[in-house]
Structure 1
Amino acid sequence: MSGSKKSKKKRLDKAVYEAELARLQVELVTMQRWISSNGARVLVLFEGRDAAGKGGAIKRIIQYLNPRSARVVALPTPSERERGQWYFQRYIEHLPTAGEIVLMDRSWYNRAGVERVMGYCTEEEYDRFVAQTPTFERLLVEDGIILIKYWFSVSDTEQQKRFKSRLKDPMRRWKLSETDLASITKWEDYSQAKDSMFEATDAPGAPWWTVESDDKRSARLNVIAHLLSQVPYEASEPPTVTIPDRPEATETDRPDKDEQRFVPNLAKALGAQS
């Protein structure tokens, strides 16, 4: 739901990318420590076209964070019960609690994008959504939640390239659904839906931030750096930890190892072949 063709840019050097990513991931851990100690609540929404790189960015953000206070929310198609609820209801239960950061891989903005384009909601439901969303998000912000909204923008040629790559990759083949592929034939419809969504929901207290994502490496660094800038964290030293000396082993009878079941040593077999 962004512009069409873009000029081809050189991909960020891998060594430069990996060095900066490591530095930023250390900062993310520092940020999380501040969030936990200060009881902050951080909610980050990741939206954008299919194959725009949202999942890869989320993976790098969450990679080294403590899973007890950082989680990813990626909701499936709503159940029959959820379809009978107030639209925002199923998302509310996943909002962050004190000391927690939540990353939403797609959010309530499904209604403004895929649901509207694919005809999964009525015009009345869509109109109600865009009327209620600014108020809903204002209430979240007024209650103290740090709300950050990202739109990942990818060109049509790059999206097509990534779709073809997924088609040949058995580990990513599941990412190609009928709805995903429809984003090719409905490119302009998605563009118009995105523009309307921005116009209705780009509010001062909850603005949209666009991430250019034709180069995945650049996109990941850019979004992490920006996320860090949006949370007013302060660096602090982690609690001092002293690793105790291990006590001397005592003479105790232990079961014979031959009585245990071990998984087959595939690694040893592979090593013998090399």
Structure 2
Amino acid sequence: MIELKHVNKMYGQQAALKDLNLSIKSGQIFGLLGHNGAGKSTVIKSLVSIIQPTHGSIEFDGVDLATERLAIKRRIGYVADSPDIFLQLTPNEYWQLIGAAYELAPDYQAKRLDELVTLFDLNGKENETIAEFSHGMREKTMIIGALLSDPDIWILDEPIQGLDPQAAFDLKALMKAHAAKGKTVIFSTHVLDTAQEICDEIAILKKGELIYNGTMTDLLATQPTESLETIYLQMAGRHGNDAATMASEALTHE
């Protein structure tokens, strides 16, 4: 289980997270939802130790991340929202870097890469620079790197954005299979249909605050006659009808 306890994150006077409490069980696909700036990426970057909370704690199976950072990071496969710092590398160079960081045996790494590269259709692209790739191909490269060590915990920031339909289907299948083995998948998304399709539990954030935590079924049950989109917008943004009215008015004034 992963627990965030009273987590706050400040950037100067700006609060990115406000007293966040979450429990994420093993064997779950857990979705983080919210508008841009809601705090999803801040949660993910806190979980993978890119940033540290201003206050509060994060525990992995009862072990404090702040005191066992390296050991916990070895259990995590992480896909960032942008691969920009690796653009001058080739996929092979990037994957070799990941393999060295996780101290993977060469034979195991070669076998694992063969499986993942074939699955995500990157055969023949391994020695081109990542800068030459489309967004979707860059995303596939990062996903392969994250899954290379077969980590217990997958933490993925907008992993499906930009993927072609086949790659998106394959990644979702991998996520389901991973959770079915009793392991953990945490990912952020803007796509409500994806969250509804695969998440066991979700958290909705708004301006750094947790406004819903539970199953999608329970969320839909709060307003049985309304669509998921309408319920979400009522909670996390403007009401869907208000948004439609505003868009119509904006077009009228063009």
Q: What is the TM-score with the length of structure 1 in the denominator?
A: 0.28
Which one has the bigger helix percentage?
A: 1
More strand by share: 2
Question: Does 1 or 2 have the higher relative contact order (CA < 8 Å, sep 6+)?
Answer: 1
Q: Looking at CA atoms only, which structure, 1 or 2, has the larger radius of gyration?
A: 1
TM-score by length of 2: 0.30
